Structure 1
């Protein structure tokens, strides 16, 4: 037992690695603050476009969403990070990760919001238009708020997955939490920094998990 604790829960190693882990945590938080709003904004655009049934909009939109939902996000990050310099575009690791997460997560958010929009009865659209609201006002003031409420548990669940997905940014050498933990491990020859990073992820995400559970229970109670 002592050997297990010394190997995986070495407090001295964790304490020594804490400065570099805090730097990684800060980068992870910045990445979350970039990825989640970008994904939501892109998802709203995709969901609103899905309302249009014209083939020139519908089929390219379906192809876009299906492609980025099916394409592995890890491969997408590597492709963007390695491919953009060949196109003469230098935006750094953070910019590449932000673009990759935008393309991937906006497709998921878009499908969730599309389902929320389709859950709103058509009569509400007609009633809103009869009061003099434009199509844009109807979508912004009547449809989207209700759609978000209807799919809020799914939005929170997807956001939870996005936060966990930020750990793959280490593949392009972005110094986020997991990358810094692996750097500390390579210096200390001890996996305790990885365990410390896992604990940080748990403490950061556990409140979101509890919130998701409450939202799901409320959603069931409304049915």
Structure 2
């Protein structure tokens, strides 16, 4: 009975953490998609400078841990540039930049998977390169990329737990706060794990259904 009461009393705070987790994930994935599209296009550009910039960005973001990136943005930059930054804003920036590198590879691979003849056919009927990319190539590529994008959403959602180190009260941090006052680590971490499991399993099911529908 005591355990049930503890869990019941903890749910409002944990659900609040879930809301923050989802908000950060959704906002970050939006900006990550924008960055991914930009750097994905740069990586397949015929201009070597754009290629190099895309490679540098992707390698740095994928080659350093998210926790280091979060610390750098939240603690490092403000100490040098003498300004303050909100923890949530810093977390969104860090997660967006990190996920953006992976999204860039998803976009690059998705665009590359489209037969070259599609672009040649579009250009042959008079479409400029940019318009051909927007109207012909990207719609087909996005269709193929959708499962990978949803998978990145799942990864980013789990990565939000890392952002608790800079004080963001997402789901993991909410659990830590409750444990600090109740000393019931087993029960609280169990509930937190179940919440993550439900969210991620739901997204995985959605991803599989979309993947099956796209393959028809």
TM-score above 0.5, yes or no: yes
SS of residue in 2 equivalent to 1:151? helix
SS of residue in 1 equivalent to 2:122? helix
Aligned residues: 214
Partner of 2:45: 52
Corresponding residue to 1:214 among 205, 209, 216: 209
Corresponding residue to 1:172 among 166, 175, 186: 166
Deviation, 1:215, is 4.3
Structure 1 CA distance for aligned equivalents of residues 50 and 130 of structure 2: 18
Partner of 1:202: 197
SS of residue in 2 equivalent to 1:132? coil
Gaps of 5+ in 1: none
How large is the Cα RMSD of the aligned pairs?
Answer: 1.8
Partner of 1:187: 181
Say if 2:86 is the partner of 1:92: yes
Q: Which has the higher contact order (CA 8 A, sep 6+)?
A: 1
Contact persistence 2:40–2:54 (CA under 8 A)? no
Could you tell me the TM-score, scaled by structure 2's length? 0.92
Partner of 1:63: 56
Structure 2 CA distance for aligned equivalents of residues 36 and 166 of structure 1: 12
Structure 2 CA distance for aligned equivalents of residues 210 and 165 of structure 1: 20
Could you tell me the TM-score, scaled by structure 1's length? 0.89
SS of residue in 1 equivalent to 2:83? coil
Contact persistence 2:70–2:166 (CA under 8 A)? yes
1:36-74 deviations in Å (ceiling 9; x for gaps):
111111101111112212222212221211111111011
Deviation, 1:97, is 0.6
